[in-house]
Structure 1
Amino acid sequence: MSELSRRSGVPVPTIKFYLREGLLRPGLATASNQAEYDEDHLRRLRLVRALITLGGLSVAAAREVLEAVAEPLDRYETLGVTHYALSAPVSARADGKSARNAEGGERGNGSAAEVERLIERMGWNITERSPLREALAAGLRALHEVGAGYGADELVPYAELAAATARLDLDQLAGIEDRIDIAERALVLTVLMEPVLAALRRMAQENEAALRYAGEDGSNTGE
């Protein structure tokens, strides 16, 4: 186990916890208190660690992803399970917003209706159980609270950009058949790329603001 810890960078107590929780299968016993761990253990351990520490998943949610990886699911099903599990922290925040907005039922219903309109306008295939429906509706309610009324019509240009980004994301899965590799790639694209995309958007906003407004009051930018 110490060798597995050294190679993975995961502390031994954490590995033991993952073993107790069934997130990592036991190694091959070589003595009463010793076991060997192979490359499959190393790959799975890295995925478990990433799901919990980077993806913010609970042990139960991580187990759900790992069970999906172990099943003979196709690429679409593997991605679906992983994506929905990774969306759980987002939907939990949305549930909190929903509770705070419980008294604003009409506004809440309106936001949910706008989400449905957007899905229909875009022709998107989004399952009824998707946690992102409520996450988007909660975001729209928050915008309405500060007077920024975004509905389906205003969101279409943003949705089109998101669709283009999704195509770039899924292009990276071309040729990947291994389910652990698919889950790892989904983690990268869903969690690790989000702050990168947010930073790129804000940089683009800064650049666009400079192009439109720099020099209006005689000031210079870029210093």
Structure 2
Amino acid sequence: MRLAELSTRSGVSTATIKYYLREGLLHPGRRITATQAEYDEEHVRRLRLVRALIQVGRIPVASAREVLAALRDEDLDPNERLGTAVWALPHGPAPNEGDPEHDAARRTADTLLDRLGWNFGRACETPTSPAYGMLVTAISALSRLGYPCSAEDLEPYARAMERTAVTDLDLVERYGTPDEQVEAAVALTVLYEPVLLSLRRLAEAEESRRRFGGK
């Protein structure tokens, strides 16, 4: 397909596609003349992912480029590619090791992960996962403000996230090839986070109505 059809199929303007090509977010098409190229279904799929990252997820171009580089790294297996790509997504602030609550928060996080049997966040015994850092930062804030944040308090949330992860990867496995699955996993990580947040708030509102609402 030519550029105009690629734009129609993907819902991305031709000017934006050209920008993505210049920035290395989309691989070039097959050159057919000095000024024209031909594109295929892989370009359509990649544009959907780039659009999810940049236009929906508001991820900076530099971060999106890092994510896409991880997805193209054929030296990694699908699990490693997914992990590297997700780690490259923007995350919240890293833990402040000068925070007096930091060490206690890290111990709480480690206790929680041990109870769950989760090891990925602390690969090679080093808490390198950005998600692990986010967890420690969140626990620090909860503790500092006097809210419940023990491993026992957090475990029910973690168990709910285990079930969510199963649902996530069930969706991913609907895609045919490993490349499609890894790309879909990254896109769904970005696109489903607002869905999860909104559903949690709606569920809390419903539970509040049931418990505290007037008859």
TM-score tier by shorter-chain length is: 0.7 to 0.9
Q: Hey, what's the Cα distance between the residues in 1 that align with 2:134 and 2:192?
A: 19
Instruction: Identify unmatched segments of 5+ residues in structure 1.
Output: none
Task: Note if contact 2:70-2:84 (Cα within 8 Å) is conserved in structure 1.
Answer: yes
Query: What aligned pairs does 1:15-34 form with structure 2 within 5 A after superposition?
Result: 15-34=17-36
The one-letter amino acid of 1:118's match is L
Query: What aligned pairs does 1:111-130 form with structure 2 within 5 A after superposition?
Result: 111-126=105-120, 127=123, 128-130=127-129
1:85 aligns to 2:94 (yes or no):
no
Instruction: Identify unmatched segments of 5+ residues in structure 2.
Output: none
Q: How many residues align structurally?
A: 207
| Aligned equivalent of 2:166 | 167
* Residue 209 of structure 1, CA deviation: 2.1
Give the TM-score, by structure 1 length.
0.80
State the SS of the aligned residue for 1:32: coil
The one-letter amino acid of 2:11's match is G
| Aligned equivalent of 1:62 | 64
Distance change in 2, residues 1:135/1:144 (3 Å): same
* Residue 159 of structure 1, CA deviation: 1.0
Q: Hey, what's the Cα distance between the residues in 2 that align with 1:79 and 1:191?
A: 13
| Aligned equivalent of 1:110 | 104
Task: Note if contact 1:111-1:137 (Cα within 8 Å) is conserved in structure 2.
Answer: yes
Query: How many percent of aligned residue pairs carry the same amino acid?
Result: 44
Task: Note if contact 1:115-1:136 (Cα within 8 Å) is conserved in structure 2.
Answer: yes
Task: Note if contact 1:27-1:36 (Cα within 8 Å) is conserved in structure 2.
Answer: yes
State the SS of the aligned residue for 1:31: coil
Q: Hey, what's the Cα distance between the residues in 2 that align with 1:134 and 1:59?
A: 23
